[in-house]
Amino acid sequence: MKKRFFLKLLSITSAAMAIVILFILFGSTEKTYGFDKNSSVYEKMNQRKPVSYLVIGDSIGRGSGAEHPAMRWFKILERRFFIENGIRLNGEYIVQSGATAFEGLYKLTSHQENSPVDLIFIVFGENDRKYMNADEFGRIYEALIREAKALHPNAELITITESSLTFENFAKQIAAISSHYQASNIDMRPVFRASGFTAKELTRDLVHPNGKGYQLYSDTIYSKLWNNAGNSKKIALLAPPLYDNSFQGFHEIITPNRQNEFVPQGLFLASNHIGAIVEYDFTGTFVGAKVLRGPAGGIFNVYIDDKFVTSLSTWWPFDKERALYIASGLADGPHKIRIEVSEKNSPYTTKTETLIRISSIITNKTQ
């Protein structure tokens, strides 16, 4: 009887020990994308641990132009890390075709799932030069970097100067701000020039890279990351701002103080009447508008404090809510913005009747 009891006790003890050993061997060493948050991306690479990354960017950031989704630069990068190094890369994407750094900043602050990441790619410039000057771009680009770093303090920042960017003053802003925050800047323009291929051979439309062009993006990023890892690059702390007006968040104003021939349409105020206006009061140093772009999107003129500022198109191939940049560098005080339906139409529209749909204006919070 005692022998039987002893054998049963020994069996239970052995089973319990086996479970503990299995947990030690497998459970405690399992690596997930949120594992070991105190290790930098370069430490994780050298230890062959999984790496999480975030892309904040425009159409090149999202890989537009590739002949197949698998030929986008970040997918090529993921495959190479896994095949050559046994490292899994897991990505999140805050990207939008046609976006500026302003829209990237707005989408980042509105993003619901800001779980910690190891690596952040910032890809802007080509669209920004159409809507703002280099100084305005620099202020918003810096605000984007600071917000990304505040949300992900342990992440390495990789800024990409797009291969199609021809405005040197914009490229200089990217380089200077990257240097100030010790971000790794990758300028793809000299890489394309040194490749031996023409822009036509490397792009879909002389702007968006094709699969061959994105292969160059991936190869250059791969080399830069491993060079940094080999040099044990440290993740920089958030440096003091370069510009005086540091970003403190967005403030949306939904209710206008005056409107004429704009009517409610779902979450938007809409009008197809030429000369129709909607007017808002705001306080801030920069401002944008949240609109619904689509095939029926028209053009509106913008006046700030009764002075004409710009005209913006809301045409897009499909309906999509967008945050459009309007102006920055404004005096830090009260302003009035008036949006007026233009008689002009986008050259891309096929609609006989167009309309403007706006849900709010967006400005920066002030003290």
> Is the distance from CB of 118 to CB of 34 less than 8 angstroms?
no
Q: Which residue has the tokens 């239970």?
A: 12
Domain co-membership, 226 together with 281 = no
Residue 238: inside a domain: no
Domain co-membership, 215 together with 351 = no
Q: Which domain holds residue 183?
A: 41-230
Backbone φ and ψ for 13, nearest 5 degrees, come out as -65, -45
Those residues with Cβ within 8 angstroms of residue 366's Cβ, 6 or more apart along the chain or in another chain? 248, 283, 284, 285, 332
CA distance between the termini of the chain: 81
Domain co-membership, 136 together with 255 = no
Domain co-membership, 204 together with 77 = yes
> Is the distance from CB of 291 to CB of 354 less than 8 angstroms?
no
Report d(CA 174, CA 171) in Å as an integer: 5
Domain co-membership, 262 together with 120 = no
Domain co-membership, 79 together with 150 = yes
> Is the distance from CB of 147 to CB of 105 less than 8 angstroms?
yes
What is 17-31 written as a DSSP string?
A: HHHHHHIIIIITT--
Report d(CA 323, CA 7) in Å as an integer: 72
pLDDT per residue as tens digits for the range 321-339 = 999 999 999 998 999 999 9
Say whether 220 sits in a helix, a strand or coil: helix
Mean pLDDT of 89-102: 97
Find residue 327's DSSP bridge partners: 287
Residue 20: inside a domain: no
Those residues with Cβ within 8 angstroms of residue 329's Cβ, 6 or more apart along the chain or in another chain? 135, 136, 139, 285, 286
> Is the distance from CB of 185 to CB of 175 less than 8 angstroms?
yes
What is 45-60 written as a DSSP string?
A: HHTT--EEEEEEESTT
**Which of 227 and 365 is assigned the larger pLDDT?**
227
Tokens of 133: 């000057």
> Is the distance from CB of 122 to CB of 145 less than 8 angstroms?
yes
Backbone φ and ψ for 148, nearest 5 degrees, come out as -60, -40
Report d(CA 203, CA 198) in Å as an integer: 9
Tokens of 183: 């971000």
Strands 119-123 and 51-57: parallel
Residue 139: inside a domain: yes
| Per-residue pLDDT, 38 | 75
Q: What is the CATH number of the domain that holds 354?
A: 2.60.120.260
Domain end position, chosen among 199, 230, 261: 230
Residue 303: inside a domain: yes
The closest of 187, 185, 223 to 85, measured between CA atoms, is 223
Q: How many CB atoms lie within 10 A of CB 64?
A: 18
Whole-prediction pTM: 0.88
Residue 257: inside a domain: yes
| Per-residue pLDDT, 366 | 80
Statement: residue 30 has pLDDT above 60? no
Report d(CA 65, CA 87) in Å as an integer: 27
Residue 57: inside a domain: yes
Tokens of 100: 């500026």
> Is the distance from CB of 183 to CB of 157 less than 8 angstroms?
yes
> What is the rounded average pLDDT for all residues in the chain?
90
Residue 12: inside a domain: no
Statement: residue 16 has pLDDT above 90? no
Phi-psi region of 284 (alpha: psi -120 to 50; beta: other; left: phi over 0): left
Mean pLDDT of 248-273: 96
Report d(CA 76, CA 211) in Å as an integer: 9
Domain co-membership, 279 together with 355 = yes
Least confident segment among 10-14, 132-136, 161-165, 278-282 = 10-14
Q: What total of structural domains would you count in the chain? A: 2
Domain end position, chosen among 177, 197, 230: 230
Mean pLDDT of 306-312: 97
Domain end position, chosen among 182, 197, 230: 230
Domain co-membership, 205 together with 176 = yes
Report d(CA 36, CA 27) in Å as an integer: 14
Domain co-membership, 257 together with 206 = no
Q: Name the helix (H) or strand (E) containing 121.
A: strand 119-123
Statement: residue 139 has pLDDT above 70? yes
| Per-residue pLDDT, 8 | 44
Q: What is the CATH number of the domain that holds 123?
A: 3.40.50.1110
Report d(CA 318, CA 341) in Å as an integer: 20
Classify residue 298 by its DSSP letter.
Answer: -
Domain co-membership, 135 together with 163 = yes
Domain co-membership, 184 together with 85 = yes
pLDDT per residue as tens digits for the range 141-153 = 999 999 999 999 9
Residue 331: inside a domain: yes
Domain co-membership, 73 together with 214 = yes
